[in-house]
Structure 1
Amino acid sequence: MRVAVPSTDDKGLESEISSHFGRAQYYTLVDIENGEITGYKVVRCPFSEHGPGDIPNFLRSLGVNVIIAYGMGRRAQDFFKSMGIEVVTGAYGKVKDVIRAFMAGSLSLDKHWSESEEFKHKHRSCSD
């Protein structure tokens, strides 16, 4: 299984989760097999601006099965789900801690996050 986590920097498992997946400059991709982390890599987001579905398609092309994020709008969640990618929102902290908790089935989620002003931003239009 490959899990994507939007990250604040390129420090991999030591990175903090970005507060909004669509603005993350980095994604930490963590490979998990038999309940163990078997590897990880950090990829830079190729979009300075993104249109609807750009990031889900990008992550799908990298073999992602699950995305764990703090904040994500409903439309983005629907894109991921339509591609068969499981979405977990409300996660916070260091990537390594979130992944360990996810593997253990004990991930603590912030149920109070919402699509606030902080998360609103423009996407390029599909005709751009």
Structure 2
Amino acid sequence: MARPTRCRRVCMEPAYDCFQPDGVPTREEVMMTLDEYETIRLIDLEKRTHEQCAKQMEISRTTVTEIYETARQKLADSVVNGKRLYISGGHYQLCDGTASFCCNKKCRYAKTSVKKIRIQRKEENQMRIAVTYENGKVFQHFGHTKQFKFYDVEDKKVVKSQIVDTNGQGHGALSEFLTQAGVDMLICGGIGGGAQTALSNTGIPLYGGVTGEADEAVNAYLTGELNYDVNVHCSHHEHEHHCGEHHCGEDKHGCVGNGKSCQ
């Protein structure tokens, strides 16, 4: 009987998870997993040895070598043959800061403690609207949002609101976070394909492509005047992209790479 594959520890998800040749349309693609990406990041960028990489990822050195060689081959295939490169999925779990060997300064959990999120109770006859939030406005990148503002609505009037920190969670975890918070619908700016899929799986309706003041957006929704985009996607400034939080066995596709749609 084969031994089960050990979940590989990944410090963080990539800021960019889709790349394609500039100005050259292509249907061919290469899929690099998050654990493969992590070996490239640690060995090639941070100049770690295979043994150090293995210790950080909590797997054997021989396994690291196998993953690394596969990752390098995929990277070469993409660059040399002009194939679109996705970084998504894999058998991994994100670092939670509890491992005996941590990446320290690079780790989002290093020398910090996760704050307990306290959310006010919603009454059964109320509707809870969530808005991606920053400085009073609708934040434009769902996967990067550091805060939501929740509006509890009764008889088409806001009766209570609260601002809640997300603790740096990505889109997969954010979707689950909204579900657990009792959210009935979401208003946001840009949102990627992977995030839309995760959100769709929760059954929470999405109103994307919204800009301006968060309070005004909610009032516009309540009066039937909200201006939103049914075909919304995320297109981050300076081509930045990060669409999510995924753990062992989950899959993710990027939505934008190099300023071009990678759908």
Q: Same fold (TM over 0.5)?
A: yes
Q: What is the aligned counterpart of 2:161 among 40, 46, 51?
A: 40
Task: Calculate the aligned-residue CA RMSD, in Å.
Answer: 2.1
Q: Which runs of 4+ in 1 moved over 3 A?
A: 110-114, 122-125
**How many residue pairs get matched?**
120
The partner residue of 2:203 within 56, 81, 84 is 84
More strand as a share of residues: 1
* Pairing 1:3-82 to 2, within 5 Å after superposition: 3-9=129-135, 15-47=136-168, 49-50=169-170, 53-82=172-201
- CA drift of 1:8 comes to 1.0
Percent of aligned pairs with the same amino acid: 25
The range that moved more, 54-63 or 109-118, is: 109-118
Q: Structure 1 residues 108 and 121 mapped into 2: Cα distance closer, same or farther (>3 Å)?
A: same
Query: Could you state the TM-score of these two structures normalised by the residue count of structure 2?
Result: 0.42
Q: Which amino acid aligns with 2:158?
A: I
Contact residue 132 and residue 139 of structure 2 kept, 8 A: yes
Residue aligned with 1:53, SS: helix
Cα pair distance change 1:81/1:111, threshold 3 Å: closer
Distance 2:140 2:134 in 1: 8
Q: C-alpha deviations, 1:23-46, integer Å up to 9, x for none? A: 111100001111100100000012
Q: Deviations over 1:88-128 (max 9, x none)?
A: 1011111110001000111112578643253512645524x
Quote the residue 1:12 is aligned against: none
Encode CA deviations 1:41-87: one digit per residue, 9 max, x unaligned: 0000122x53x520000111110010100111122112212211011
Residue identity in the other structure for 1:58: F
Uncovered stretches (5+) of structure 2, i.e. residues with no partner: 1-126, 249-263
Partners of 2:172 and 2:203 in 1: CA distance: 13
- Look up the SS of the partner of 1:2 in the other structure: strand
Higher relative contact order (CA 8 A, sep 6+): 1
Q: What amino acid maps onto 1:4 in structure 2? A: A
